[in-house]
Amino acid sequence: MATRISVTLAVLAIMTAPAMAEETVLLHAAGSLRAALTEVAKAFEAASFGKVQAKFGASGLLKDEIVAGAKAEVFASANMEHPQALAAEKRSGPVVLFARNRLCALARPGLELTPASLLDRMLDPQLKLGTSTPKADPSGDYAWEVFQKAEKLKPGASAALEKKTLQLTGGPTSPPAPQGRSIYGELLAQGAADIFLTYCTNALAAQRENPVQRIVPLPDTLAVGADYGLTVMNGASAPAYRFAMFILSAEGQRTLAKSGFAAPGLPQ
């Protein structure tokens, strides 16, 4: 109920926003949203609501770019904290929870791995564990939450996991993803990691490109969810507000759900 009320209030705020001349929506969005929001943007453009120019990347880095003066109108983050920081600085309007994700383990072919054995295998010094970069990318922050949960199961596990983990993506100097392909699947295929903790939606995309790679759900004792936040920057154009509404609409939420996200705007 609280989520529906928040969405309703955000839509009302968007509907009363002033129109401006700019007709191209400038979207900054988490890399994990690339497939889903690209599809949402195509539907938005097909309906003649306006054009969308998107930049995808690590949410923390995108937030820092916006703070530094980068032009953005709609910010779709893989956490709530980064857009809330912009709202707290009076740079944007309300922050709305518009999607949910969770962490999964993506494993190289041939590696014996189950939810029950996941922690032991992550701690195995012979296996390479990959994550994204904490602070720069929420996916890395969520992985560190997994490590904190592991500490409760095995004292010393958190420090051991932090020490051995390879921060392979999401940082300022991380290599870009190959054009049109999953960076996570590529890293496993190259042998950079044996296990990669990433969003389940990312793992699904990687597996579609590399069917021999396996997705292993985290056990309840290690499970971590991800709440995605949406905000519109102050002074944004009318099409930007319409695009935010479109993401929150039933059509936009169905597209997110089709990509593997939990869509809070859809009927339960």
Of residues 153, 164, 141, 168, the one with CA closest to residue 220: 153
84-106 pLDDT tens trace: 999 999 999 999 999 999 999 99
Which is nearest to 59 in space by CA: 168, 142, 172, 138? Answer: 138
Provide the pLDDT confidence category of residue 268 given band limits of 50, 70 and 90.
low
| β-pair type (195-199, 129-132) | parallel
Q: Would you state the CATH architecture of domain 101-217?
A: 3-Layer(aba) Sandwich (3.40)
CA distance 12 to 221: 39
- Answer for the pair 44, 246: CB distance below 8 angstroms, yes or no: yes
How far, in Å, CA of 104 to CA of 215, rounded?
Answer: 7
Domain ranges, ordered by start, for the chain: 2-100+226-258, 101-217
Q: What CA–CA distance (Å, rounded) separates 107 from 157?
A: 20
Per-residue pLDDT tens digits for 190-221? 999 999 999 999 999 999 999 999 999 999 99
d(CA 236, CA 258): 28
Calculate mean pLDDT across residues 59-66. Answer: 98
First to last CA, the chain: 11
Distance CA 265, CA 67 (A): 29
**E strand spans, 93-224:** 96-107, 129-132, 166-169, 195-199, 214-217
Q: Is the pLDDT of residue 5 over 90?
A: no
The pLDDT tens digits of the residues spanning 150-191 come to 999 999 999 999 999 999 999 999 988 777 788 999 999 999
Tell me, what's the pLDDT at 22?
45
Q: Is the pLDDT of residue 14 over 90?
A: no
What pLDDT is recorded for position 7? 46
Residue 267 pLDDT exceeds 90: no
Q: Write down the architecture of domain 2-100+226-258 according to CATH.
A: 3-Layer(aba) Sandwich (3.40)
- DSSP symbol at 116: T
Are 190 and 182 in contact, with CB atoms under 8 Å apart?
A: no
Whether 101-217 and 2-100+226-258 are alike in CATH topology: the answer is yes
Per-residue model confidence as pLDDT tens digits over 103-127:
999 999 999 999 999 999 999 999 9
Query: What digits encode the pLDDT tens for the residues 17-47?
Result: 444 444 899 999 999 999 999 999 999 999 9
